Structure formats: C-alpha cells, structure tokens
Chain A
Amino acid sequence: DAGVIQSPRHEVTEMGQEVTLRCKLISGHNSLFWYRQTMMRGLELLIYFNNNVPIDDSGMPEDRFSAKMPNASFSTLKIQPSEPRDSAVYFCASSSMDNSQYFGPGTRLTVL
C-alpha cells in the first residue's frame, strides 16, 4: 500500500483565491482526519470523518473552510477565500479500528 497520499505537496496562492487540498486514504481504513500544523499552535485537528460521515468539525476555524468525503477513499479540504493566516502545513491521516493514525506527507500552503 502506498500509504496516505496528499496533493499538492506545496501550494502558493494569493489572498482571496480558492485552495483545494486532496487526500487519498489507505485502503481499508474507515476514518479520515484533517490537521493543520503551525509553529505557534502545533498540530490541530480540524475535522474527522468516520465511514464518510463528518463526526466532529469543531476544529474548523471558519466558514471559509469546508471538507468533503465523497467516497470511502477520498477527501478534499477547501479554503475559500484564502487568507495569509491560513498558511500552514495541512495533514491528512487515516485510521482503522485500532486508533493508530497514519499521516500523509502534508501540503505546505503559503497564502501571500
């Protein structure tokens, strides 16, 4: 298995633009997590899905952020419109029933 796959790996955009981050889960995993990591705030959970259903989105900072899981293996995190304070590394992770999480390589987002 290739592990969790994220794209793009790097994204540089201008303030106000829409950004879409993509994640492919490990086959057979039924939970997906989106995290954001910054030096100031560390690793923060944004939202997680279980069996394609959003369970907890209390970490989503604002309505500008939205996440979808259209099928069992794929998810997107969208920021519209993006702002400079959204600059961070965004990680996707998947897990199965044993609660250990497998993280993707992350997307480094820079909003100018």
Chain B
Amino acid sequence: SQKIEQNSEALNIQEGKTATLTCNYTNYSPAYLQWYRQDPGRGPVFLLLIRENEKEKRKERLKVTFDTTLKQSLFHITASQPADSATYLCALGTGGQNFVFGPGTRLSVLP
C-alpha cells in the first residue's frame, strides 16, 4: 500500500544545531517533492520544491535532498533558531498537480 512517513512526530533540538527531518515514501513515484512549514492555527507555507532529477536544493539556511532510490527526502535547517519551531510537512507530487502530504514533524528549537 502507499505510505508517506516523516521521521518522528516531534523533534527537539538545541538552538544553533542543524535540524534534520526525514520523509520516506512507499509505492509512489513522485515527479517532485515539496516541503511546507505550518504554524499553529495557520495554513501550510511553501518552502522548497525539488524535482526527481535534482539531488539537492538550497534556500538560505534550508537544504533539501531527494534520493529516488532510497525513496527518501531529507530536510535540513542549519543554525536553527527558536523561530524555526513549527510543524514541517513533506508533499509528494504524484502526477499533474495532485499532491499527497505526509503527517508532519513538529520541530521545537530550544534556546
């Protein structure tokens, strides 16, 4: 059956460290993968998109990798700050503009 998993429901790290979030999928062949941030009481906000033929994408302190052999994407936040605390969702682009979202990982960056 098709499944998307994100490494853990919650992740706590110390300010200044690198946060690494994982998105694993089964029985999908996504053409691209996206990462979103969601704060409590708000809608998700688009962060990055990476295509199946791209290994890595960067935007400021954010880095995303996409390994179609492992069926995994890693999302890194370097020099993390308390303001980075939020829930992060991965979304697979499964065809056309159809998206499937993962359950999310709640990140807490502790001062």
Contact = CB atoms under 8 A, between A and B. Distances in A.
Interface of A: 4, 31, 33, 35, 42-45, 48, 50, 55-56, 91, 93, 95, 98-106
24 contacts: A4-B43, A33-B99, A42-B101, A42-B103, A42-B104, A43-B101, A44-B101, A48-B97, A50-B96, A55-B97, A93-B43, A95-B97, A98-B49, A99-B32, A99-B93, A100-B46, A101-B34, A101-B44, A101-B99, A102-B46, A103-B44, A103-B45, A104-B43, A106-B42
Q: Is the interface of A mostly helix, strand, loop or mixed?
A: strand
Nearest to B89: A43
A56 B93 CA distance: 14
If over half of B's interface residues share one DSSP class (helix, strand or loop), that class is named, otherwise mixed; here it is strand
B42 to A, nearest CB: 6
Interface residues of B, number: 20
A100 B34 contact: yes
B46 A101 contact: yes
